[in-house]
Structure 1
Amino acid sequence: MKKIVYSFLIVVLFSTTALAQKTFNDVNAEKRTVSSFHGIEVGTGIELMLTAGNAEDVAVSADKPEYRDKIITKVENGILKIHYETKSGAVNKTKETKNLKAYVSYKSLDKLDANTGAEVKIEGVLKSPKLDLNANTGALVNGKVDIDVLGVSQNTGSKITLSGSANKLEIDGSTGSKFSGLEMSTSNCSVKVSTGAIISVNADNKIEAKASTGGIVKYKGNPSVKEIKKNTGGTVSKI
């Protein structure tokens, strides 16, 4: 009976949201009640499925009810924070995976933080006038965006892969992080990279690139304005 109820909840959560791009079926899901939010912060190995809608809804899932109950969902200063109760996150001491997931429908979003092995999957297109996107400590972010001003900060082995478009793109990457944006068209692009990070972008009008300490910038397109600075083993090259 519980499985039927949970499945019903998750289908209702996303199918009744008029602008939602996808319906999720998850027999282990449980709906959470939260206050209004405009930003999201997720961590501790949780997989986040993010969908635009005309309502703000949250549900969480895990392989076992005791794992699901330890997923914290709370809103502080307009930021929805999703994380596991302990730092062990998605894997416990016996290396058993917990399959921690969160399903979020949002009305508007201007901030997205992925930390500590979290994985963010953008379903459909994330549209916003402005978005601050941060990824740290092995976090993954994948999806399509339509943003006027997109600011990206990432480090410590995080990976971001985006398609779509951003009129203005500012990226700061370091410590082995990787940004793949060749399928995302940009008009004005500003890139700062260091410490072994790799950033790939598609620039139409202007690119400013600073690469140092083994950082790598790759770009495609034919920007009319190029401001390139390289030092301490940094490289900037056109694809």
Structure 2
Amino acid sequence: MKVRFETADAEHPVGISYYANDFKAGKYVSKVENGVLKLRMQRSKEADSLQVTVRYNTLSAVKVSGAAVHFAGLLKTNLLDVKVSGGARFETTLDAADLQLEVTGRSKVTLRGKVRYMDAVVSTAVVDASQLQAMAVTVDASNKAEVTVQATERVVMKSTTGAVIRYAGNPSIERSHTSSMLSGTFERLNTDPK
């Protein structure tokens, strides 16, 4: 399933639209429970042929498993919680105060834009936040995760079991920890002044 998020406007109000090329009906469900939109699809060979567009006014949390999610335009919010798992793909440009990110299960996340604070827990996944300007970043990476971040003031890192954390900018490193067994690594990226 490919999901595209768009900001609602007068011409395109809040809602969901589906486009299915050779996709059999009855294999997907959308419903709202306690203010939460849930999209589910039965796994099939035609999974990539279902395209869903979600138009929203405000957004504070996104949970994705096994789908490809892309945000059109800028996702602007104060607090955002994102959970990505099951080999999902997640891509967005953000303008947020606080981002909580949890990524697992061979998923891939690409982030751009700016946030004040970013807290990420990543296991067996890839997070590219090299184009996301953050004031302060905390990263806990494990199980061969690959995480790239950019911080202007502060970075706190923990890397275990073969994980790699790369960071850009000139932040103060307040704490960094690797496990003595199967340790992870930290790498500072070159940051040439422009």
SS in structure 1 of the partner of residue 59 of structure 2 = coil
Report the Cα distance in structure 2 between the residues aligned to 1:234 and 1:98, rounded to whole angstroms.
35
Report the Cα distance in structure 2 between the residues aligned to 1:188 and 1:58, rounded to whole angstroms.
35
Question: RMSD between aligned alpha carbons?
Answer: 1.4
Aligned-pair CA distance for 1:225:
4.1
Corresponding residue pairs, total: 184
Match of 1:182 in 2: 130
Structure 2 residue runs without a partner (length 5+): 190-194
Q: Does residue 59 of structure 2 align to residue 109 of structure 1?
A: yes
User: What does 1:15-34 align with in structure 2 at a 5 Å threshold?
Assistant: none
Could you list the structure 1 runs, at least 4 aligned residues long, displaced by more than 4 angstroms after superposition: none
| Conserved 8 A contact 1:63-1:98 | no
Task: Name the TM-score, length of structure 2 as normaliser.
Answer: 0.90
SS in structure 1 of the partner of residue 159 of structure 2 = strand
SS in structure 1 of the partner of residue 58 of structure 2 = coil
Q: Does residue 111 of structure 2 align to residue 156 of structure 1?
A: no
Q: Does residue 165 of structure 2 align to residue 165 of structure 1?
A: no
Task: Name the TM-score, length of structure 1 as normaliser.
Answer: 0.74
SS in structure 1 of the partner of residue 24 of structure 2 = helix
Aligned-pair CA distance for 1:66:
2.8
- Write the letter of the residue equivalent to 2:22: K
Q: After superposition, what is the alpha-carbon deviation per residue over 1:88-124, rounded to whole angstroms, capped at 9, x for unaligned? A: 24x2xxxx555011101100000111102x0001100
User: What does 1:218-237 align with in structure 2 at a 5 Å threshold?
Assistant: 218-231=166-179, 232-237=182-187
User: What does 1:1-239 align with in structure 2 at a 5 Å threshold?
Assistant: 46-54=1-9, 55-64=13-22, 66-67=24-25, 69-84=26-41, 86=42, 88-89=43-44, 91=45, 99-116=49-66, 118-174=67-123, 176-231=124-179, 232-239=182-189
Identity rate, percent: 25
Structure 1 residue runs without a partner (length 5+): 1-45
SS in structure 2 of the partner of residue 214 of structure 1 = coil
| Conserved 8 A contact 1:209-1:228 | yes
Q: Which has the higher helix share?
A: 1
Q: After superposition, what is the alpha-carbon deviation per residue over 1:36-95, rounded to whole angstroms, capped at 9, x for unaligned? A: xxxxxxxxxx1001011244211112113634x4321101111111111x3x24x2xxxx
Q: Aligned in 2, Cα 1:61/1:214: closer, same or farther, shift over 3 Å? A: same
Aligned-pair CA distance for 1:227:
1.5
- Write the letter of the residue equivalent to 1:186: A
